[in-house]
Structure 1
């Protein structure tokens, strides 16, 4: 008697598991269909918004004054036709035929407006303005005659740019020191960098 009871229990278990799997599969199909319907609705709303945007663009263009040039209207019309073609392709089975037909009728009105628009006025030649000449930097009132270390800091020695040099004419400059309008900014290897306002001079150190 145990064998029939075990067989019935096994059969009941198999049936319950089958029903559970069928319920799960049905639930999955229902959820997938709902998700697909939501996506289709969102796509439809987005594409309808694009159609409305195209219609508003055309209305705004038609309300512009008649001074629009032929070239400008032609470019606008070509751009709108390209956008309408993209919307038609994207809509596919959801295409709103009446809306698209109305858009095409408005594009035809743009063509009519284009033929009646005045020809574009000849472009005025641009006058090239010469850039303002930058002011020449002030001349260096000195010459660099050497470099040395003082208290562990590099410095440069300068003397008047002309004439013979006497010991009392030699100045030792550290970065930050000034001679006339020129300030010693840095010593880079064998080069001393001086600056006066926006002008920079690099002087070789002999």
Structure 2
């Protein structure tokens, strides 16, 4: 009669432990792969953020270069620049700088932001100088010419007193005869010249809205 081989208790326990060991090794491998994937994703995310920030800075630098070229063109060919244009340009640049400052830390991007701010300030100064020069040129062009003071077509001969009333004697320019001498009292007119008053040493005339004082010899 053959007796079946019954495995020893130690062999049974070893076989029972193998599934648990395999499961533990599998869990360790899965955990290690999960950790590696997490680290890789974190690095990819950081690289993507850094690339996006660099692209944003590059776009802003390109825009500022274009603004500098526009400022140079305006300086070469002055044109009227309004305060609204300056405010709109400054607002757009301030908004872009604000986004750059929010997207970057103060440690690694402070120097770049300061350089951009300096360039923006230089552009604003040039635009302000151009606007001031254009406004001054327009103001000078709009100023009306100073009116020319009319010259009387007669000469004042002197002052005469007749019947207690003063008269101003005038003669046409180039007149050689006393017949051409006329006597004017206050309120009289000679052509467009109105005698307003006779003073001790001068006669006051009104002509085309101008008051002219002529000395009496």
The equivalent residue for 2:44 is: 38
Contact kept? 1:88, 1:95, Cα under 8 Å: no
Q: Which is higher, the Rg of structure 1 or of structure 2?
A: 2
| 1:100 alignment counterpart | 113
- Are residues 94 and 22 of structure 1, via their aligned partners in 2, closer, same or farther at CA, if it must alter by over 3 Å? farther
2:35 to 19, 23, 29: 29
Call closer, same or farther: CA 1:15–1:9 in 2, change over 3 Å. same
Which one of the candidate residues 4, 10, 15 is aligned to 2:10?
A: 4
Unaligned 5+ segments in structure 1 are 123-206
8 Å Cα contact 1:69/1:118 also seen in 2: yes
Query: Which 5+ residue runs of structure 2 have no aligned equivalent?
Result: 1-6, 139-217
How many angstroms apart in 2 are the aligned matches of 1:81 and 1:2?
84
Task: Say whether residues 1:85 and 2:98 are aligned partners.
Answer: yes
Higher helix share: 2
Q: CA distance change for structure 1 residues 48 and 39 in 2, over 3 Å: closer, same or farther? A: same
In structure 2, what is the Cα distance between the partners aligned to 1:44 and 1:38? 10
Residue 56 and residue 73 in structure 1: after superposition, are their counterparts in 2 closer, same or farther (change >3 A)?
A: farther
**Cα shift at 1:30:** 0.7
Please report the TM-score for the alignment, with normalisation by the length of structure 1. Answer: 0.51
Q: Distance in 2 between matches of 1:69 and 1:82?
A: 20
Give the alignment's TM-score, normalised by structure 2. Answer: 0.49
Determine if the alignment matches structure 1 residue 50 to structure 2 residue 56. Answer: yes
Q: State the alpha-carbon separation in 1 of the partners of residues 53 and 100 from structure 2.
A: 7
Name the counterpart of 2:22. 16
Q: String of CA shifts for 1:22-57, please: whole Å, max 9, x gaps.
A: 111111111121122112212211111111111111
Give 1:93 deviation, angstroms: 7.6
The total of aligned residue pairs comes to 122
